[in-house]
Amino acid sequence: MKSLERTVQTLIINGTLTECPGLFYGKTGIAVFFFHYARNTGSELFRNYAFDLIEEIQNQMTVTVSAQYDNGLSGIGVGFEYFLQNGFIEADDDLFEDFDARMYRIAMYDPYPDLSLAVGLTGWGRYFIYRLRGNGQMNSRINKALTYIANEIAQKVIEQTVPEGEQPDVFRFFCDLIILPDYSKKYADALKRCREWKCICKPDIPKLFPYLNYLQRLYICQNYFRMDLSEEIEKEWAKRIEPDKNSLLNMGLLKGRSAEGMLQLTTLNTDINWMNLL
């Protein structure tokens, strides 16, 4: 598969040169690809490269790294938890100690810019959701921070003050949240209210999640909107001959080389759970 080989070569050359450590645009997203590619090929070389990226990411975790999900701390933390939950890495007891402490302070004391996934409060919330799905169950600060975030967002849902453009991200947040047993009953009403929004009860797929490419959008909508989009997904796959060069100017997992590599791996029976990172 020549296109996949080209993707691998490009990412090897540019991976460690990419300055951004984040999930959508940087090293964390690249590491997602190389862990999956190593598992697919059985090659330790690519697994070691992913670990090299993780080491560089940890070296970049200074106080200046933002909390943003797309290119900052919350997305990187979710990426690390994803590696752990999928058996790509083994966690030391202190792997998330700094992540948890910093994200707790941010959630409890820092102003949030909006409710979006990419830069705002639902992105911060996703970090704590992933932690509770993993090995963070006994950490009281994680529960406290997530409850604070969920209450803040739920109040805006009740007050009907969630901007239309942020409603899909808020809806996804509560869909993910109520899967957690301790949160399912408490926030069921918030999710019910979200389902009453026009963009949710009558979804217009081309207008939803504009930061995703169309194939990613179809998978996300099928997962969250109780829609059978299998025919549309099959048609979209059939149209994918070569990637759009304009969408591959970065190396990240959102619309960059790593995303293209993961889509190529998906055709080789790699599961699509990685798309839930987006």
Q: What is the mean pLDDT of residues 255-260?
A: 92
Query: Mind listing the pLDDT tens digit for each residue in 181-221?
Result: 999 999 999 999 999 999 999 999 999 999 998 999 999 99
pLDDT score recorded for residue 242: 60
Dist. CA 102–CA 2, nearest whole Å: 42
pTM: 0.94
pLDDT score recorded for residue 239: 81
pLDDT score recorded for residue 153: 98
Check pLDDT > 70 for residue 20: yes
Check pLDDT > 90 for residue 269: no
pLDDT score recorded for residue 91: 77
Q: Which helix (H) or strand (E) holds 262?
A: helix 257-266
pLDDT score recorded for residue 248: 57
User: DSSP letters of 102-156?
Assistant: HHHHHHHHSPPS-S-TTTSHHHHHHHHHHHHHTT-TT-HHHHHHHHHHHHHHHHH
The token pair at 68 is 């943003």
User: DSSP letters of 236-261?
Assistant: HHHH-SS--GGGGSS-STTTSHHHHH
Cβ density class 146-176: b for 16+ within 10 Å, e for less: bbbbbeebbebbeeeebeeebbbbbbbbbeb
pLDDT score recorded for residue 222: 94
Dist. CA 79–CA 127, nearest whole Å: 9
Domain chopping of the chain, boundaries? 1-60+240-278, 66-202
Check pLDDT > 90 for residue 16: no
Average pLDDT score over the chain: 92
Dist. CA 23–CA 27, nearest whole Å: 7
Contact 217, 205 (CB under 8 A): yes
Higher pLDDT, 178 or 63: 178
- pLDDT band at 15, cuts 50/70/90? confident
Query: Mind listing the pLDDT tens digit for each residue in 42-100?
Result: 999 999 999 999 999 999 988 788 999 999 999 999 999 999 999 999 877 688 999 99
- pLDDT band at 244, cuts 50/70/90? low
User: DSSP letters of 36-105?
Assistant: HHHHHHT-HHHHHHHHHHHHHHHHT--TTS---TTTSHHHHHHHHHHHHHTTSS---TTTTHHHHHHHHH
